[in-house]
Structure 1
Amino acid sequence: MSYAYASQFMEGVSQVMQLNRTDVLLDVGCGVGSLTALLSKRVARVTAFDISPEMIKEAKEISKAKNITYSLGDATKLSTYEEYRNSFDKVVAHFALHWMKDYKTALEGIYQSLKPDGQCFMNMSQQKSNLLDTMIVLNSYTSPKWETFMKGYEHHYYPFKGSVDEFKQMLACIGFKDIDCIEEIVKVLFKNDEAKAVFPTFMGQLERFPEDKKEEYIKDALTFAFHTFNGEYCMTVPLIRAVARK
């Protein structure tokens, strides 16, 4: 996620969730840490949590703020991490849940990691737009010259298939209260260089490629997905956004 892109979503977080200088915050699925860096300026401490060692490495390069602790782990196993239980005033899961096949278990872990009356912000994409098609293309693009690296790879993207009311009901069943849940359509415009920086963060298959092949593969994948590699790219993101308390 580019810094400008993260700033756009940081505004949304700030509008719906009150961040305090005394807050201890968990950033679930922090990715490259652009949003983490912004969050760290609003709260006392942040634990940035991701399953990918590569993402954690990049996040550490983006921000070395002393109030950020970077942690490697699986969000679907969050409820088993005793050190996180009842530990956080705020939890943010931004663009993270739809990368998890068992996102309900991740939500249960988020609930357990919050302190009583703690607040969380979460969003995940819905299965009803070209975003899904774009993610599938970028996560599964291959051609004869890339078959060696892509053999056996399956893309991982699991947008929510139900309605806002169904998402809200799922949160209520877990135990969340004061649930504010809405649909949100976000349009993000990327220039060429921004697209090359942002979209690879969606492409788990890049772990299969040697460093000297990644840039060429990214260019091919973006060309295939958008039919051009010049100018700007517009990504329309249909989201379910929710704010809730424990």
Structure 2
Amino acid sequence: MFLEPIDFAKMYKEHKQKSVFKRKSSDEWDKKSKEMAPRMQKSHYVEDFISKMEIDKDDVVLDVGCGPGTLAIPLAKKVKRVIAIDFSRKMLDELESFAEAEGITNITTYHMGWDDDWSEIEAVDIVVASRSIEVLDIEAALLKISNLARKACYVSYMAGGSFVDMKILDYIDKTIVTKPDFWYLPIILYKEGYLPKVDYIPTSSGSVRYTDEDEFVKSLIWSLGSLNEVQQQKAREYYELYIKDAPGAPKDSVWAFVSWNCDIKRG
């Protein structure tokens, strides 16, 4: 096969290690849980994601990196059961509170992440990983969920290689190494014999709002890891010029929606 001489999994790993966008720890996500929950639990992105899935009322769904219940809550209203896992205990707390408020009783939560042993999780019909597959070993992660799902997997991954608008980076004079783009995923899946499909989910800039310039700078540091004093000052200028009177993120984001049937492989 023409792709065999190229080790895309190794390329991804090397690229990921060089990227400025590092994987966040569970403690960091714990601190984000309170502010994320209200925004993530009401989103057009969720409707778009679920509309692209093929689901049945008798399905058991595993939601990997479930966060505060962004997908787990609406999916629980449509399927037999949802198993929701996240390595942030605070995110699971938000999910459980939200589920209780909604009267949902068919969600089981586990405090675990991508690198943990999933042997206690039963085989499921469907696996979803919504904006949560920021792992170092992408091949291992894709195979892990493919082997667990009886029917299909649905994954979303940022298109473009940067969580921060390049216009902002240019303005504050911040040079970065982007993260691996989404095309690694379907290529690796194809090499493993699957027939992945790729679609796209645009997200509105209005889903992200900053109350002031300090919050904007803080969000950039969260994504980029660090900014020097000059870059922080330039970021404040950018906020005043382009964001303060036009609430919302400076650009819309696009998420690649990658799906594949786990029981169908190419011959």
Quick check: which one's strand share is greater? 1
SS in 1 for 2:120: helix
- Structure 2 residue aligned with 1:83, among 120, 142, 165? 120
Mapped contact 1:32–1:58 kept (Cα < 8 A):
yes
Residue 106 (structure 1) aligns with = 141
Residue 258 (structure 2) aligns with = 242
Tell me the distance in 2 between the aligned counterparts of 1:104 and 1:34: 25
Once the two structures are superposed, residues 9-60 of structure 1 have per-residue CA deviations (whole angstroms, 9 ceiling, x without a partner) of 2222232212211010001101111321111111110011101112111211
Classify 1:17/1:189 alpha carbon distance in 2 versus 1 (closer, same or farther; 3 Å). Answer: same
The answer to whether the aligner puts 1:14 opposite 2:34 as a matched pair is: no
Once the two structures are superposed, residues 102-156 of structure 1 have per-residue CA deviations (whole angstroms, 9 ceiling, x without a partner) of 23322221112112xx111111113445x3358x99xxxxxxxxxxxxxxxxxxx
Classify 1:159/1:122 alpha carbon distance in 2 versus 1 (closer, same or farther; 3 Å). Answer: farther
**Greater radius of gyration (CA):** 2
Q: Which letter does structure 2 place at the counterpart of 1:83?
A: E
Once the two structures are superposed, residues 209-239 of structure 1 have per-residue CA deviations (whole angstroms, 9 ceiling, x without a partner) of xxxxxxxxxxxxx968845566521352132
Unaligned runs of 5+ residues in structure 1 are 138-156, 206-221
Residue 233 (structure 1) aligns with = 248
Tell me the distance in 1 between the aligned counterparts of 2:125 and 2:90: 27
The answer to whether the aligner puts 1:73 opposite 2:112 as a matched pair is: yes
Mapped contact 1:27–1:93 kept (Cα < 8 A):
yes
Classify 1:81/1:5 alpha carbon distance in 2 versus 1 (closer, same or farther; 3 Å). Answer: closer
- Structure 2 residue aligned with 1:187, among 204, 209, 225? 204
SS in 2 for 1:56: helix
Mapped contact 1:33–1:59 kept (Cα < 8 A):
yes
Deviation at 1:81, TM superposition (A): 1.9
Classify 1:223/1:47 alpha carbon distance in 2 versus 1 (closer, same or farther; 3 Å). Answer: farther
Q: How many residues align?
A: 198
Mapped contact 1:111–1:176 kept (Cα < 8 A):
no
Tell me the distance in 1 between the aligned counterparts of 2:237 and 2:115: 32
Mapped contact 2:45–2:203 kept (Cα < 8 A):
no
Unaligned runs of 5+ residues in structure 2 are 1-35, 170-176, 225-234, 263-267
The answer to whether the aligner puts 1:92 opposite 2:128 as a matched pair is: yes
* More off after superposition, 48-57 vs 234-243: 234-243
Mapped contact 2:202–2:254 kept (Cα < 8 A):
yes
Residue 125 (structure 1) aligns with = 158
Tell me the distance in 1 between the aligned counterparts of 2:208 and 2:143: 37
Deviation at 1:83, TM superposition (A): 2.8
Classify 1:7/1:112 alpha carbon distance in 2 versus 1 (closer, same or farther; 3 Å). Answer: same
Classify 1:128/1:15 alpha carbon distance in 2 versus 1 (closer, same or farther; 3 Å). Answer: same
Once the two structures are superposed, residues 51-107 of structure 1 have per-residue CA deviations (whole angstroms, 9 ceiling, x without a partner) of 111211121112122100111112134xx422336x111111111113x22233222
Tell me the distance in 2 between the aligned counterparts of 1:174 and 1:103: 13
SS in 2 for 1:83: coil
Classify 1:46/1:193 alpha carbon distance in 2 versus 1 (closer, same or farther; 3 Å). Answer: farther
Classify 1:229/1:47 alpha carbon distance in 2 versus 1 (closer, same or farther; 3 Å). Answer: farther
The answer to whether the aligner puts 1:173 opposite 2:222 as a matched pair is: no
Tell me the distance in 1 between the aligned counterparts of 2:64 and 2:58: 19
Identity %: 21
Quick check: which one's helix share is greater? 1
Residue 153 (structure 1) aligns with = none
Please tell me the root mean square deviation across aligned C-alpha atoms, in Å.
3.6
Q: What is the TM-score normalised by the length of structure 2?
A: 0.61
